[in-house]
Amino acid sequence: MRGVGQQTSRTRGRMTTGKCGRCGLVNWPGESVCKRCGSPLASAGVYDPPTSFRRRPNGSDRKSFWSNHLNVLGLAVPICWLLVLVRDAIGAEVGGLLGWGMLLFGLGTAIVGGFWLLITMFRSGLLWGILGFLFPVVSLLFLLVHWGDARRPFLTNLCGALIAGAGFVLTGGEVRG
């Protein structure tokens, strides 16, 4: 049983909220007296912000980087296909150069996404990785079973393929060496 003025605490001994022992009101972090009855709390405590406001530990900022990466690719796809729609207005010469650039960038992005998916499959299990390497159709099954892990690599692969497709159309469909 809690005595008068004791506070609830979180891990590592950091005081976060003060529950009044007299009336039971949970006071705001850092308060020294109860707002309802005025009885003193044990100590003001240290404010422990919610986890959404905390700075992420080293290494977890990569998640936001990859989210931003997918946002940029997601914006690039409609822009590339918009260029396909206006290819007559930009001219054949410029359209061909843009098409080759988009084709190469899209293929590179799709290859990176494919390898990333394969690495994700190996991280999930050796059998998934070997089967995914030998039989690419297994990647679709892995995508359905492990959507949370495979979502970003798959979307990177898909965006790359869409950009490469737009580049192919912009080159006039004639890819010759």
User: What is the chain's pLDDT, residue by residue, as a tens digit (177 residues)?
Assistant: 444 444 444 444 444 457 787 887 888 777 888 888 888 876 544 444 555 544 555 544 455 555 566 677 777 778 777 777 777 677 777 777 888 888 899 999 999 999 999 999 999 999 999 999 999 899 899 999 999 889 889 989 988 998 888 888 888 766 555
Q: What pLDDT is recorded for position 118?
A: 93
Q: Are 60 and 67 in contact (CB under 8 A)?
A: no
Q: Are 16 and 2 in contact (CB under 8 A)?
A: no
Structure token digits, residue 136: 């690419």
- The residue among 112, 131, 111 whose CA lies nearest residue 121 is 131
Q: What pLDDT is recorded for position 176?
A: 57
Judged on CB neighbours under 10 Å (0-12, 13-18, 19+), 98 is: buried
* Residues in contact with 32: Cβ distance below 8 Å, sequence separation at least 6, in sequence order: 40, 41, 43, 44
Tokens 């931003």 sit at which residue?
Answer: 68
Q: What pLDDT is recorded for position 11?
A: 40
Q: What pLDDT is recorded for position 40?
A: 83
The full set of domain ranges for the chain reads 1-54, 61-170
Q: What pLDDT is recorded for position 77?
A: 77
SS3 for 171?
A: coil
SS3 for 8?
A: strand
